Chain A
Amino acid sequence: MFRFLNLTLNGLTNGMIYAAVALALVMIWRATRIVNFAQGGMLMFTTFIAWDLAQVHHANYWVALVVAVVAGILIGGVAERVLVRPVENGPPLNAVIVTLGLLIFLQALAGMIWGNSQAHSYPPAFRFIGYKVGDRTLRFSPNDLFIVLSVLVVVIALYVLFQRTSLGLQMRATAFNPEVAGLLGVRVGRLLTLGWALAAGLGALVGVLVAGTSSGYVTPVGPFDALLIYGFTAAVIGGLDSPGGAVVGGVVLGLILSYADSYISNFIQTMYALVVLIAVLMIRPKGIFSRTSERRV
């Protein structure tokens, strides 16, 4: 029972991380109908920047975090303007390949700058050691609490932005129908850039949070690829179009992975995600089909 509780707590923490990645993917999907396969690479790169500041140049944790988020916002905005804009209305295949190209480019660049051989550890924001209940230690530490709260705060902030501000209204209008939004005077191009920038900023935050967990480390390829898949799976569980769904999907996936990890095997986490992904896609492909197949005859 205690083990189950611990697994649940651990699943919740990880789930919040997946939820945040999923949310970033959903924001970009809603804005441009593109799945950003570079998400994992973008957040890996910003995390390396933060790591460089914090570990090599001994900067303060929070300074590094802020720099990472700002860098993420910049990378996201520039990526949308330069790389994604030309393929936005083209065949989905082109967009997939361009974002994948960006992912690979960022992985290579990070490898060139920081090297592939070492897995660098990242300082946590708070203690790793779990809270105590009686004489037993929970698998939930102040650092985990920090992760959960940060993601919650960001989710709420995004909710307020989208639902309560005129900027958010414009973004929703753009996502719903760019042509009409453009006719109504919304500057569609800028909002798309902003959408990518915000999503990448969110991704950057996640990267630093993940790197700072007890099992986290920073390296050009590996954990961040898996993170992308988890985020994608979570987003698909939620329907890819719904921010709320993404958060729920993230938590559900976090719990599933946590239980499966412990009760089945901890060697094949990505397989669990694959199984969940395929199961969801097979059970209800209708709600999550792309636009082309919804085309009416």
Chain B
Amino acid sequence: MSALLEVQDVTVRFGGLTALDNVSADITDGEVVGIIGPNGAGKTTLFNVICGFNRPDTGTLRWQGNALQRHQPRQLAGLGIARTLQGLGLFPHLSVLENVMVGATKHARAWIGSALLALPRGDRDEQQLRKRALEVLSELDVADIADRLPGQLPYGVQKRVALARALVADPKLLLLDEPASGLSNDEMRELADLLRVLKKDVSVLLVEHHMDLVMDVCDRIVVLDFGRVIAAGTPAEVRDDPRVLEAYLGEEVTDADG
């Protein structure tokens, strides 16, 4: 099976700092791939390169076999890539429903003309988006808070809303940047269950510090340290790799259980 997304020999430098150093990784349909590594290892930077926020100094990206060059973040939704941000990145003054409806932008058909003149076409379009958004919200069990503002909700619920906003675009690939940070143990278990359900429809690239979760749901894991891939393989292989232990020594191992 050919890869959905391939990252080949990507290097990113910020001034003197090499955030990614010849990193290669790939993900195929229906896979959950974990990206782990200590703070500052370059995980978010890898996501930023995939999303087009940072350009790689060298190396290439391929999406479904085609090279991704000079792509803009706003084109991702159309390609079938969605991402949640480290932290929340919700629109604070938009209701939960509206947040998710913005996420469904790529499904919208009517645009400026219908908006200016309030044509029925625009209303129908809105109805569609609202329905779609509510569906995703109910799938994630948060449809009851559709009218609330994100700031009024507990952190765990906000994270779900962020996930809903990414999922509503029907992505083929979901990039999750620390989806479990700030969650309680219960919520984290729910997240793990959810990810297992999701992987039937969508591939997931998961950046996460909570080893339990990563080991539990990932098919494969890539370990970054100082921008370099120091190990890659199944959870079992990675767990026993001495280089990984070394990279994490005295750091995440202790609080990996959350």
Contact = CB atoms under 8 A, between A and B. Distances in A.
Interface stretch (B45-53, B134-142, B163-171): B45-53
Contacts of A296: 44, 48
Nearest to B177: A297
A91 to B, nearest CB: 11
B247 interface: no
Contacts of A297: 44, 47-48, 51, 53, 85-86
A93 to B, nearest CB: 13
A90 to B, nearest CB: 13
Instruction: Decide if the interface of chain A is mainly helix, strand, loop or mixed.
Output: loop
Interface string A267-297: 0000000000000000000000000000011
A296 B51 CA distance: 13
Interface string B78-96: 0000000110000000000
A274 B6 CA distance: 47
Contacts of B51: 297
A296 B53 CA distance: 9
A296 B49 CA distance: 12
Contacts of B86: 297
A296 B47 CA distance: 12
Interface in B40-68: 44, 47-48, 51, 53
Interface string A88-132: 000000000000000000000000000000000000000000000
Contacts of B44: 296-297
Contacts of B85: 297
A296 B19 CA distance: 13
A297 B85 CA distance: 7
Contacts of B53: 297
Nearest to B89: A297
Interface in A10-39: none
B175 to A, nearest CB: 11
Interface in B198-244: none
A224 to B, nearest CB: 36
Interface string A221-243: 00000000000000000000000
Contacts of B48: 296-297
Nearest to B14: A296
A17 B53 CA distance: 41
A260 B47 CA distance: 49
A297 B51 CA distance: 10
A141 to B, nearest CB: 49
A296 B14 CA distance: 12
A297 B73 CA distance: 11
A59 B75 CA distance: 68
B94 to A, nearest CB: 16
A297 B53 CA distance: 8
Interface in A137-156: none
A297 B44 CA distance: 7
Nearest to B73: A297
A45 B44 CA distance: 51
Contacts of B47: 297
Nearest to B83: A297
B160 to A, nearest CB: 20
Given A296-B44, A297-B47, A297-B86, 6 more contacts: A296-B48, A297-B44, A297-B48, A297-B51, A297-B53, A297-B85
5 contacts: A296-B44, A296-B48, A297-B47, A297-B51, A297-B86
Interface of A: 296-297
Per CB-CB distance, the 4 closest pairs between chain A and chain B, nearest first, are A297-B53, A297-B48, A297-B85, A297-B44
